[in-house]
Amino acid sequence: MPAQTFAFPKERKEPLNDARHVRNAIARFDQVEGVSDSEREAAWRRIRSAARKHGVEIKVRGWRALMKGGKTGRR
C-alpha cells in the first residue's frame, strides 16, 4: 500500500483504506508510539478525511480526547 493510505505514513501505522480500518485507527490512536504531537495532528487530519470518504462518524472533537493512556502513557 502507498504511504499516503496510512494515518502515520512514516511509521506505516494505521491504514485508512476502508471504514473498518478507519474505525480501528481511531480506536488505536493512543497506542502509536514514537510520534510527535505535530505528527498526531497530521494523522488526525488524514483520519478525519478518510472517515468522511468512507462514511464513518467521529464523535470526539479532537485527537487529544483519544489519548487515554495506551502504550504512550499520555493522558
pLDDT digits 0-9 by tens, 30-60: 999 999 999 999 999 999 999 999 999 999 9
pTM, entire model: 0.86
Cα(43)–Cα(13) distance, rounded to whole angstroms? 10
pLDDT at 2: 84
Work out the pLDDT band at 4, boundaries 50, 70, 90.
confident
pLDDT at 56: 97
pLDDT at 71: 56
Which single residue is written with the C-alpha cell 474505525?
23
Q: Mean pLDDT over all residues of the chain? A: 89
